[in-house]
Structure 1
């Protein structure tokens, strides 16, 4: 335990970090590793790999991911902003390269290979995009002559264009929801919200008409006809798990669903550990979102407020999409469950999101001074 009397970067970090946030993120990482032992051996065996192939890779991803999260949590808000700008530029460049030189998987070009590692740059784009847009919105609030909102709209258009070109409709929807929420927080006129909402609906309609795989997934969701094997089996696994589960290793869904260790790991958890366990897992994500929004509400700095809210909503929205697909409440979409599903790019990128959140929510002397000043102003007797 670090004493309050100690001075130094580590002691200051320990006493200023949001320790509940830190515990929740570490808990999710630990649960993800546990569920990797439960879900991935059957998948590895089915495709001819060593049973613990994905488990070993999950551990290999987990160690640098935790290091990245803790390292980023030491940054100041200005350093977070600079790191996000560098990350966003690199991610957008790699997304562009992926369109021309990336490997095509299931009709999409979303990955680039660097030093033998397959990287999905759009995962790293998401937290950086949130932080940079928060900075642009804040600059508009601070200096009305700076067209920060316009720059944020242009940046959003660039990101969406790259995502659609891959194509990746799920990430497009997730990015749009988070960006729209931040835009709303920035106090834009209702006419802009109406226009952008209409464009969003129109864009989805165009995607449905022009992209066969989008139309197929939506039609299967509404009618239940066609190839619904994965979602039907996932729902059956949740039902079979009942309240307390069938026990570790006793699930059957992981033996037949191709994506049991990624998109449908929530169903594996439900079958083996029960609905109560899944409710606790959802509660962890809900606590992260609520705590993040609470921090944002108390913030005096516009950049911190927008960035904290956007990062927390990003984690919450992504987890909601994954769980919604498993429960057949949303059309099937390949979206990982943050820090739970297998995937190196996803885990490290979510830890970047967590690291940014931990850095921006640290208690700092200037923020405490502002709170004391606001308190004195509020309760100062009238002269």
Structure 2
């Protein structure tokens, strides 16, 4: 164990926040999984808890492995993985089957092990790394809009177009994050406004096409529209059912909550262990528990900004912001949905919600951030050694 801790590098606060969020997830997941067991009839609560533990253990193995890779390798890896990601998204979109009666065009099933993998979350990390690489490449050059269309925006819109038909919320979040990253990377604002306008036009054309040919995209556009109408108006939908129970869970949580495992709404919320787990956290641990979770995500955001600021290269700065901001943005959206500040999106709470791919991709992003911060530590150690007379003498001997 001591050997493992000696080999753990990078920002210690990020390591601690990640570990604490993972530990805090066990009780809510164990409690909320009773809905899957007693209402849906799927497995046992201990089985779901063990599965969650295995997923988190694999997630931390991903963090440890990725943070050992020098971050400049991700420049080349983003280019190599981009076409592979496009192929995976095409395959995922083409299969169009169902899992448990639900549209499964977001997932592919991995042979032999039999687990499902959500390709859009992996595509998000790869695309943000690719955009960071390109922006760092043109940082000191005069940007011409036409010259950026093929190397920058063609891959962005291609991946968004492959994600959009099955997962609007992920596509919208990814597009927003790309816009934020390009803005922070110094991409001209006038060109960026043209890209935003193009994206809005493309989305409108897709919606109109889907409404004109509903058999091509069954139920997806209607689902988006119903969720938006439900949020804006008083049109009763299934999402209203979930939101009302989520708000009831939060309201009855009071200051310190009902106590671990004593949630009532977990048996009435269909996605109590994933999409609406924040409501269960507040019901069982009160406002104090909810604020603690929010504080940890905001502290993680603060450390991400610190790591980006301390990075010695433009690519390192943009890479950290590119893969780190979506984690915080997704967390805030999940919490906003639970209190009806945002329409239902299906986004999980990073490291807290049960799930496989979402946890692993969050861990992949955190591993990349730690890889960047590790490089800073190694540089500082090298400088200290160079300035240490005993170290110089030892090196000479």
Task: Using structure 1 for the length normalisation, give the TM-score.
Answer: 0.87
Residue aligned with 2:116, SS = strand
2:133 corresponds to: 135
Is 1:112 the counterpart of 2:111 in the alignment?
A: no
Partner of residue 180, structure 2: 181
Following the alignment from structure 1 to structure 2, what is the Cα–Cα distance between the partners of residues 89 and 33?
A: 37
Q: Indicate if the aligned counterparts of 1:247 and 1:273 stay in contact, CA closer than 8 A.
A: yes
Task: Give the alignment's Cα RMSD to 1 decimal.
Answer: 2.6
SS of match in other structure, 2:174: helix
Matched, 1:156 2:156: yes
Q: Which residue of 2 aligns with 1:377?
A: none
1:328 aligns with 2:340: yes
Q: Give the distance between the partners of 1:64 and 1:175, measured in 2 at CA.
A: 25
Q: Which residue of 2 aligns with 1:376?
A: none
Q: Which runs of 5+ in 1 are unaligned?
A: 3-7, 373-383
- What is the CA deviation profile of residues 90-139 of structure 1, one whole-angstrom value per residue up to 9, with x for unaligned ones? 33322110112252353451111112211111111111211121011111
2:215 aligned partner: none
Change (3 A) 1:87 1:32: farther
Alpha carbons 2:245, 2:269 under 8 Å: kept: yes
Distance 1:141 1:245 in 2: 50
* Residue 294 of structure 1, CA deviation: 2.4
Which SS does the other structure have where 2:72 is aligned?
A: helix
Q: After TM superposition, give the deviation of residue 186 of structure 1 in Å.
A: 1.7
Partner in structure 2 of residue 45 of structure 1: 38
Mark the CA change 1:290 to 1:207 in structure 2 (over 3 Å): closer, same or farther.
Answer: farther
Q: Is the 8 A contact 1:43 1:254 kept in 2?
A: no
- Residues 103 and 111, structure 1, Cα contact 8 Å, conserved in 2: no
SS at 1:342 equivalent? coil
CA deviation after TM superposition for structure 1 residue 206, in Å: 4.9
Is 1:301 aligned to residue 313 of structure 2?
yes
Q: Which moved more, 1:44-53 or 1:274-283?
A: 44-53
Between the two proteins, the alignment pairs up a number of residues equal to 364
Question: Distance in 1 between the 2:360 and 2:95 partners?
Answer: 23
Residues 1:90 and 2:84 aligned together: yes
After TM superposition, the structure 1 = structure 2 runs for residues 262-273 of structure 1, keeping only pairs within 5 Å, are 262-273=274-285
Post-superposition Cα deviations, 1:62-89, rounded to whole Å, max 9, x if no partner, equal 2211101111011102223344444444
Q: Which moved more, 1:75-84 or 1:198-207?
A: 198-207
String of CA shifts for 1:251-287, please: whole Å, max 9, x gaps. Answer: 1111011110110000000100111111110111111
Specify every segment of 5 or more residues in structure 2 that has no aligned partner in the other structure, as ranges. Answer: 212-220, 385-397
2:122 corresponding residue in structure 1: 124
Deviation of 1:207 (Å)? 5.8
> Which residues of 2 match residues 313-324 of structure 1 at below 5 A?
313-324=325-336
Deviates more, 1:189-198 or 1:243-252: 189-198
The answer to whether residue 60 in structure 2 is matched with residue 76 in structure 1 is no
TM-score (norm 2): 0.84
Q: 1: CA distance between counterparts of 2:244 and 2:158? A: 36
User: Could you say which residue in structure 2 is the equivalent of 1:226?
Assistant: 236
Change (3 A) 1:86 1:253: farther
The answer to whether the 8 Å contact 1:102/1:111 transfers is: no
